Amino acid sequence: MDIDARALYVISVAAELAGVHPQTLRIYERKGLLAPARTSGRSRRYSDRDIALLRRIQELTNDGVSLAGVQRILALEDDLVGARERISELEAGLDALQREAEQRVEAAHRQYRRDLVPVRSSVVARFEARR
């Protein structure tokens, strides 16, 4: 399990760490901005990742962004992270294909060298042109 994803903090501690009121965390959860883990008794537990997300939400709202805007920005940031991961995968695949192509070209060149017969050791028939 990712160490940042371990649900460690009760709502009051999470609120204090993020610099907000506990009721604000409940509002964020209702709006779908946050999804804390739950204990078997249904108590909320927040992880370090949740605290970082809360700080990001606070940063955006302090800049005047509405909660709907915050939700959209967070979704776009997630999309961007996913796109970057996909680009990295594609680049790795492209590198592998390029290495394979280079190996195949080199193998073809080696094959050509084996198939070529040096001119000096080959028999060449000469024909005289009739006059």
Q: How many CA atoms lie within 13 A of 100 on its CB side?
A: 6
Residue 57 and residue 81 in one domain: no
Residue 73 and residue 60 in one domain: no
**Residue pLDDT, tens place only, 62-112:** 999 999 999 999 999 999 988 989 999 999 999 999 999 999 999 888 887
What global pTM score does this model have?
0.62
- Cα–Cα dist 34/71, whole Å: 10
**Count of domains for the chain:** 2
Residue 50 and residue 72 in one domain: no
Contact 9, 17 (CB under 8 A): yes
Residue 6 and residue 48 in one domain: yes
Q: How many residues does the chain have?
A: 131
The residue segments making up the domain with residue 76 are 66-115
